[in-house]
Structure 1
């Protein structure tokens, strides 16, 4: 699922992100959705706050 990307000015982008554990609910689905969103936006990296979540999670695709 392609997720909405938050842009400059959104409050979540200014929040301090929280640590998560491997037991975070639906983590694998979230990572899959973030990679799908990243691919659709032609980016190389996407952080969770950019999709509205105040957690410490980032996906990077260096296969360009």
Structure 2
């Protein structure tokens, strides 16, 4: 997880529209960094967590 966050922090985001599509544990600190340290707002990026440990994401096909 730390390696992915290092990539987010090491990239120059000026002029980019980030698409954050990753595990929730990585998404939250990356989003906080981009919003607080880089000044990006919610409208300046797309965020989607595809998985969170211990939580059901989406719909159950068996139901």
* TM-score of the superposed pair, with normalisation by structure 2: 0.30
Is the helix fraction higher in 1 or 2? 2
Q: Indicate the structure whose relative CO is greater, using CA pairs within 8 Å and at least 6 residues apart.
A: 1
Is the strand fraction higher in 1 or 2? 2
* TM-score of the superposed pair, with normalisation by structure 1: 0.29
